[in-house]
Amino acid sequence: MVDPVFSVASFLLGAVVGSFLNVVILRLPTEGESIVFPSSRCPVCKTAIRWYDNIPVLSYII
């Protein structure tokens, strides 16, 4: 039987890694753009994304 704590931890780790890979995939084709800086922003209006909106599950709940 799978431990529930392990399942939740695996889900959260997967969400964080998936979110980071999304940033990497979007920024790599752009030459000269760093993976880390600048911080996340809206692709349409270029407004900076708030820090708590970058937390995968928490931003959905809020």
Convert 21-53 into a string of H (helix), E (strand) and C (coil). Answer: HHHHHHHCCCCCCCCCCCCCECCCCCCECCHHH
Q: What pLDDT is attached to residue 4?
A: 92
Tens of pLDDT, residue by residue over 6-53, are 999 999 899 889 888 888 888 887 767 777 777 788 878 989 888 877
Inter-residue contact 27 to 34 (CB < 8 Å): yes
Per-residue pLDDT for 54 more than 80?
no
The total domain count for the chain is: 1
CB-based contact 59:53 (threshold 8 Å): yes
Q: Whole-prediction pTM value? A: 0.62
Rounded Cα gap, residues 34 and 3, in angstroms: 38
Residue 36 belongs to what domain range?
4-61
How high is the pLDDT of residue 42? 83
